[in-house]
Amino acid sequence: MARKRRKAIKRGKVRRDIAPAEALLKALNHPVRAQALTILTHRIASPREIADQLEQPIGIVSYHVRVLAELGLAEIVEEQPVRGAVEHFFEAVPPDRHDGGFVRTPLRMDKVGWAEVQRIQERARKEVLEEQAAARHRINGSQTAATEGLFGQLLLEVPPEESGDAR
């Protein structure tokens, strides 16, 4: 018999001293954290469920999910009593569209679509580099100030769930 979950009370400290773009970079700085964020973007899950899906130790996954919560990228949304303890269920916080150019978009597609997205990414990277070359010519010898930045792309794939029990 499944136990009834209850809605979680909001708790925990979210770091307010970093910008959303920096928080996302910190989240993506570790593969387990990046994969956990991807899973939580698609569904509500506990660290145990994420650990099972990623085939990682629960302690490591729990730590990285707590980091996501501290960064303001995930939050506890449900709790369930389990053998005298409380299992927490997390969900990704919807992305802020004004987060310094970073966009998180959940994707779910077949292998053909995934391959096409990879080709689209490569075309976009080439176009950005072409524009950088054109801008270099426009800036050289002019009084126009250059805007410096960093262009990055990331496409993350996570292992499939073993059961069809998506929440």
Q: What is the pLDDT of residues 44-59, one digit of tens each?
A: 999 999 999 999 999 9
Q: Do both 115 and 39 map to the same domain?
A: no
21 within domain boundaries: yes
Q: Do both 130 and 118 map to the same domain?
A: yes
Q: Do both 69 and 117 map to the same domain?
A: no
Domain, as residue range, for 118: 107-156
Q: 87 has which bridge partners?
A: 80
Structure confidence at residue 98 as a pLDDT band (50, 70, 90): very low
166 within domain boundaries: no
Q: Do both 152 and 74 map to the same domain?
A: no
Q: Do both 10 and 87 map to the same domain?
A: yes
Global pTM value = 0.69
Residue 79 has pLDDT above 60, yes or no: yes
Q: Do both 25 and 99 map to the same domain?
A: yes
CB 141: neighbour CB atoms within 10 A? Answer: 7
Q: Do both 95 and 119 map to the same domain?
A: no
Structure confidence at residue 167 as a pLDDT band (50, 70, 90): very low
Please name the helix (run of DSSP H) or strand (run of DSSP E) that holds residue 62, with its range, or none. helix 58-70
Q: Do both 12 and 77 map to the same domain?
A: yes
81 within domain boundaries: yes
Please name the helix (run of DSSP H) or strand (run of DSSP E) that holds residue 86, with its range, or none. strand 85-92
Q: Do both 148 and 121 map to the same domain?
A: yes
Number of domains in the chain: 2
Mean pLDDT of the chain: 82
Counting beta carbons within 10 angstroms of the beta carbon of residue 66, is it exposed (0 to 12), middle (13 to 18) or buried (19 or more)?
Answer: middle
